[in-house]
């Protein structure tokens, strides 16, 4: 699909990435800072970076392990790399915080607005459904999504095409008829590879990925999303 073939108003379904897009993975920073004063941000950043690297490495190497455990492995790596000895209680608390990540404040209203406009909504995440359902409930987003889809269903991680294909199977629609929203630039690119009309939520003003593909639209936050479908 070329850029000129994007037509967001015609998309009947809007599929969302979870971590980083709906939920702020760096909201663990506060607890991390209580555990390791002055180091919360560094821990949170490296934790997330390693978590993603491990998903890519495990997918490439055919060594799937579910996202919860990959997340724990990444936390252990980050604490060692930053020389922040972590007790079992601290590890447990930080992992539990992942089930209560804060949603970006504007997200709930944006989702409700899309739903009221007749769009079907879904989540497509690396996280297994139990993990994602917990943060969805914590954010008061229950009942908004027709499907919560997970790479766990196919034992692979994004950017594997089989993960994105889960949305086509769930809605019995080709990807071209669906929008895919992610604040992870690489995820928005891979969704385009898979045929979706992707929207990149560029909250931090990052430069685009150079992957021979561009999102159909770039916004700064989800409150701009409903306007794209008018
Ligand atoms: C997700 O799949 C990539 O973390 C992101 O939810």
Alpha-carbon distance of 181 to 185, in angstroms, equals 10
Average pLDDT over residues 187-201: 98
pLDDT for position 5: 72
Q: pTM score, two decimals?
A: 0.96
Q: What is the Å distance from ligand 1's center to 17 Cα? A: 6
Residue bearing the CA closest to ligand 1, atom 5: 19
Closest alpha carbon to 82 in 27, 37, 31, 19: 37
Tens of pLDDT, residue by residue over 136-151, are 999 999 999 999 999 9
Tens of pLDDT, residue by residue over 181-191, are 999 999 999 99
Q: Which residues contact 195 (CB under 8 A, 6 or more apart)?
A: 1, 164, 174, 175, 176
**89 in catalytic set:** no
- The answer, yes or no, to whether any atom of ligand 1 lies below 6 A from the CB of 149, is no
Ligand 1 pocket test target in 44, 128, 158 with most atoms within 8 Å of CB: 158
- The answer, yes or no, to whether any atom of ligand 1 lies below 6 A from the CB of 158, is yes
- The answer, yes or no, to whether any atom of ligand 1 lies below 6 A from the CB of 51, is no
Share of the chain above pLDDT 90, in %: 97
- The answer, yes or no, to whether any atom of ligand 1 lies below 6 A from the CB of 48, is no
Closest alpha carbon to 211 in 197, 191, 190: 190
- The answer, yes or no, to whether any atom of ligand 1 lies below 6 A from the CB of 17, is yes
């Amino acid at each position: 699909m070329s850029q000129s073939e994007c037509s967001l108003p015609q998309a009947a379904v809007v599929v969302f990435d979870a971590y980083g897009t709906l939920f702020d993975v760096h909201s663990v920073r506060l607890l991390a800072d209580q555990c390791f004063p002055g180091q919360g941000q560094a821990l949170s950043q490296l934790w997330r970076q390693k978590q993603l690297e491990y998903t890519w490495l495990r997918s490439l190497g055919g060594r799937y392990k579910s996202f919860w455990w990959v997340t724990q492995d990444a936390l252990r790596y980050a604490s060692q790399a930053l020389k922040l000895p972590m007790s079992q209680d601290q590890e447990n608390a930080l992992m539990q915080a992942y089930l209560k990540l804060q949603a970006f404040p504007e997200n709930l209203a944006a989702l409700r607005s899309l739903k009221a406009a007749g769009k079907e909504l879904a989540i497509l995440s690396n996280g297994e459904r139990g993990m994602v359902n917990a943060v969805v409930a914590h954010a008061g987003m229950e009942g908004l999504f027709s499907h919560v889809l997970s790479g766990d269903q196919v034992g692979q991680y994004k950017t594997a095409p089989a993960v994105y294909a889960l949305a086509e199977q769930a809605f019995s629609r080709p990807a071209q008829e669906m929008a895919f929203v992610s604040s992870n630039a690489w995820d928005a690119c891979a969704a385009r590879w898979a045929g979706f009309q992707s929207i990149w939520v560029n909250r931090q003003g990052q430069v685009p990925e150079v992957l021979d593909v561009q999102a159909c639209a770039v916004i700064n936050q989800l409150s701009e999303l409903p306007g794209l479908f008018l």
